[in-house]
A = this chain, B = another copy of it.
């Protein structure tokens, strides 16, 4: 099963690598990871998406919550939550097909953030499924560069 794990940690060096290591040490591959400061610069939030056995994830959560540098770790996939991801996509375009690419971007309510002679850069936000659908539609034009943030999530209500 997929797990979306949100971990509040002290913003100290080594904490991030240590926590990422706790997953890989148990043979888990991290599908995505996003880390940023919170409103308190001494605290960061990590959002980790992994696929794996429920019981093992539960064990890792317990282990996380015992770490000195971890303030709180929760599995958001256990409750209703809002998930979003951001992607920057640089697509190969010509004067001829540029319009087509912009139309696809519009349908996905994404934004053109840069235009060059041979390329167009698009910023898109959505669920993982929406981003995947957009990438799939743009692939035939040629993806020159792609950066995605990995998912972040907050509990609903």
Knowing A34-B35, A36-B32, the reply to whether A152 touches B13 (Cβ < 8 A) is no
Interface size class of A (residues with CB under 8 A): 35 or more
Assess whether B14 is in contact with A147, with CB atoms less than 8 Å apart.
no
Minimum CB distance partner of A44 in chain B: B32
- Interface residue A56 (Cβ < 8 Å from any Cβ of B): no
A92 to chain B, nearest CB (A): 12
Q: A17-36: contact bitstring with B at CB < 8 Å (1 yes, 0 no)?
A: 10011011101111111111
Q: Which of A25-52 contact B (CB under 8 A)?
A: 25, 27-39, 45, 47
- Interface residue A104 (Cβ < 8 Å from any Cβ of B): no
Cross-chain contact of A154 among B29, B121, B155 (Cβ < 8 A): B121
Cross-chain contact of A147 among B6, B21, B24, B123 (Cβ < 8 A): B6
Q: How many copies does the complex hold?
A: 2
A87 to B16, CA, bound (A): 19
- Interface residue A114 (Cβ < 8 Å from any Cβ of B): yes
Q: Given the complex, which residues of B lie within 8 Å of A155, measured CB to CB? A: 145
- Interface residue A101 (Cβ < 8 Å from any Cβ of B): no
List 28 A–B pairs whose Cβ atoms lie within 8 Å, in order of A's numbering. A6-B147, A12-B29, A13-B23, A13-B29, A13-B30, A16-B30, A17-B17, A17-B21, A17-B25, A21-B21, A30-B35, A32-B35, A33-B35, A34-B34, A34-B150, A38-B146, A38-B148, A45-B147, A47-B147, A47-B149, A82-B113, A84-B113, A86-B86, A86-B152, A90-B154, A114-B156, A125-B125, A149-B149
